[in-house]
Amino acid sequence: MSQTYYFWKGDEITSMTGNNIFVYGANPEFKNGAGAALTARNFGAKPYGGGRGIVGNTYGLITKNLTPGFLEKETGIVYQRYGRRSVSKNMISDNIDELYQCAIQNPHLKFFLAFKNTGQNLNGYSNKEIWELFTRNKTVPSNIRFHNSFRDLLVHN
């Protein structure tokens, strides 16, 4: 069976209302102070301590840890590493599965991923690695929206 992907166009997401959810790379402390996490504050993410799942019109996907030894109370996970590549690919993949389950349970919502196939990610993974984490061996729900720049990877994979 072939997978169909849906995309959003434009340089930046500047509005997120109604049934639209802004999905951004987060840290388990939800210190939303840089990159797309800072933008998420415009859509209802809390500056500090947001928690997993939907907050306002946002969904923080944990992809990086900032504090060595941080204990995430919701899950009991202790993050030993910090900085670039501090959250393993397996853990990010599990977090994406959690996002996809949320999308399946909320078919009336559309989830717009802030990740792009341009520039660098603050988490230290390449854009191709991020794309593969979202798509390889996964069934992507139809209410997930990738940035149009990832279409290039469809052709080359």
pLDDT in tens, 91-122: 999 999 999 999 999 999 999 999 999 988 88
Mean pLDDT of 4-13: 94
pLDDT at 131: 97
pLDDT of residue 120: 86
Q: Indicate the pTM of the whole model.
A: 0.94
Per-residue pLDDT reduced to its tens digit, 38-49: 899 999 998 776
Tell me the pLDDT band of 1, cut-offs 50, 70 and 90: low
What is the predicted pLDDT for the residue at 119? Answer: 85
List pLDDT tens digits, range 33-88.
888 988 999 999 987 766 788 999 999 999 999 999 999 988 899 999 999 999 99
Q: How far is residue 3's CA from residue 35's CA, in Å, rounded to a whole number?
A: 30
